[in-house]
Structure 1
């Protein structure tokens, strides 16, 4: 049984976790829709061939063409995420004592609604620009859901039980942070100088990479070859810069001695390495072997005629892994922000006394 002094609500956290678990598959399926050029498999919106989205005959959906299957499935999964986000808002407003968390839950719901609207506009107008915007805002929604998961988790309260603002009763005795014998005490780690700035820059760089990838994925007919070359070069160089930034951030986080902060860095090192390999595979699928690999047996004259299922999975994996890297970076950033703020509050309190 949880202590009443800790404003942790299991139902809110589980709903926040569910939004995360639904968002990444939604990005996966949305990426497959673009890879297969299936965005217009259902020409109307918000209905599906005149049917209510949730009443469309399931046999027609499951046994129909693959592009119809993934496009309508994408819409159904989006609807499920929307209902979950509504549940999160209701649960937060009924049980959460932190007003800002209630507002953040509402922000997640608004973001999900806007994302769905952008997808609908893309269908109604048949516009590639809106398809690109829809693709670049999806990772933002993912990052928001991850943030919601962190701020509603039990971890959020592990370092302090006495500084929760309006969630605490002034008459409730709270243990001092400096008392190592206090119940559930966890020593507050000290971050190396510049750690927060590096991780913030890491999150920004991750998103910039996603935008560059979306530009390459949704090429405009009016685009120039020179612009394509510059965008591609920047995207490739920035991938290795990002890998280096992750390694530097992880080295700094190791110094604080808290595994809950350093482990995401280990995951990011592996994910960025995998993403670079997936990026090379995506290039081969779209444009053939790079010129410097001309010595590779069979590479000369290699021409891509069409994407088979394996190729489509590879390309979509590259898209989805990029969003996952941003999500893990955001996860680490929110935790570091929490520790940084507690450190600042601790210093301020010690100075005042």
Structure 2
């Protein structure tokens, strides 16, 4: 279907809407993290309604009910924002990829709602089972899906920004493939770390090793192992791996003349978020899983993943001048000539 009003131009209102949706998911993330931190996920045994109502009695005065119902309401409103995003892009956006991304965001948010609902309906309080593995599995997938949603909303805001569309939109800076590979590696390592964190949180293993940075006996490795201790230790080891990969990635961003000026600020932002995240992880243990501290740790982790994903995404198209692009291209060409010096020409 061809619609005349579709354009590829920068749309300031839609960009602002995309940023608003990205900020809204932050509220949703915190509400979900706080609900998990105070173990209020089963404040209501039914779903999609709460005690058979969209406005259950007492939900504003009971902390557990307030946390869980707020999470549900914020999720429903994010779904409405996603529907509006799909309609908006279908009517006004000529770029097929943007329209498809909007649809994908809506589908993922719907799936997120279903995963959250399954987590409630398959809880042992409803099933009567002697284990809660199924509900916890849905909870882990729900937590990981939230991070994917964040990254997609970040991408939607980025590709609809003025910088992406108008500033040298036809130019692609010759960013090293090595830089991009480290970016992809950083996103992958962070996502694995988030999976480990989700499994740890929903398994109640956050304090399986109750001291930080060393174990209670002053060692790097625990004196004995079981599942809670193993997943807790792997989450800590993952933090070390993520730190190393992120430092290398940001170092390469700052070390390249092509990426230093346009992306350096975001690289330093990633570093700052990394430091804050490490502190919050340690403080969560030092405060014996204070709900606010634990929730902030989860939300800042999402910020860190989203910022790293944005930094990687922007290496695909960065706002640079023609002279910088030409300089980079000349540099790449010179290296290719040097590496092929003395070799016979291909015929």
- The Cα RMSD (Å) is 2.8
Q: Map residues 211-290 of structure 1 onto 2, 5 A cutoff.
A: 211-219=195-203, 225-254=225-254, 255=256, 256-286=258-288
| 1:320 alignment partner, one of 290, 299, 308 | 299
Cα distance in 2 for partners of 1:257, 1:142 equals 24
| 1:105 alignment partner, one of 102, 105, 109 | 102
Question: Are the equivalent residues in 2 in contact too, given 1:115–1:134 (CA < 8 A)?
Answer: yes
Give per-residue Cα distances to partners, 1:172-200, cap 9 Å, x unaligned. Answer: xxxxx6xxxxxxxxxx6442451000011
Worse-matched range after superposition: 330-339 or 271-280: 330-339
Shift in Å, 1:278: 1.2
Shift in Å, 1:336: 1.1
Give per-residue Cα distances to partners, 1:133-160, cap 9 Å, x unaligned. Answer: 2112111111111111111111112443
How high is the TM-score relative to the length of structure 2?
Answer: 0.76
Give the match for residue 35 of structure 2: 33
Give per-residue Cα distances to partners, 1:74-125, cap 9 Å, x unaligned. Answer: 1111111111111111111111011111011111111111101111111111
SS of 1:60's partner is coil
Cα distance in 2 for partners of 1:259, 1:109 equals 35
Compared CA separation, residues 190 and 258, structure 1 to 2 (3 A): farther
SS of 2:70's partner is helix
Cα distance in 2 for partners of 1:36, 1:5 equals 47
How high is the TM-score relative to the length of structure 1?
Answer: 0.75
SS of 2:156's partner is helix
Q: Map residues 116-131 of structure 1 onto 2, 5 A cutoff.
A: 116-126=113-123, 127-131=135-139
Q: Map residues 101-180 of structure 1 onto 2, 5 A cutoff.
A: 101-126=98-123, 127-161=135-169, 163=170
Cα distance in 2 for partners of 1:216, 1:252 equals 32
Which consecutive residues of structure 2, in runs of 5 or more, have no partner in the other structure?
A: 1-5, 124-134, 209-223, 334-347
Cα distance in 1 for partners of 2:226, 2:122 equals 28
Cα distance in 2 for partners of 1:98, 1:336 equals 20
Question: Are the equivalent residues in 2 in contact too, given 1:278–1:314 (CA < 8 A)?
Answer: yes
Cα distance in 2 for partners of 1:84, 1:5 equals 21
Cα distance in 2 for partners of 1:190, 1:22 equals 35
Give per-residue Cα distances to partners, 1:58-83, cap 9 Å, x unaligned. Answer: x7332x21000111111111111111
Cα distance in 1 for partners of 2:120, 2:19 equals 30
Question: Are the equivalent residues in 1 in contact too, given 2:247–2:271 (CA < 8 A)?
Answer: yes
Question: Are the equivalent residues in 2 in contact too, given 1:33–1:71 (CA < 8 A)?
Answer: yes
Question: How many residues are paired up?
Answer: 290
Shift in Å, 1:226: 2.8
Shift in Å, 1:334: 1.3
Give the match for residue 317 of structure 2: 338
Give per-residue Cα distances to partners, 1:243-275, cap 9 Å, x unaligned. Answer: 232222222212225533222210111111111
| 1:195 alignment partner, one of 179, 182, 195 | 179
Question: Are the equivalent residues in 2 in contact too, given 1:250–1:265 (CA < 8 A)?
Answer: yes
Cα distance in 2 for partners of 1:6, 1:128 equals 43
Give per-residue Cα distances to partners, 1:201-220, cap 9 Å, x unaligned. Answer: 00001101100111111117
Cα distance in 2 for partners of 1:70, 1:259 equals 42
Question: Are the equivalent residues in 1 in contact too, given 2:262–2:318 (CA < 8 A)?
Answer: no
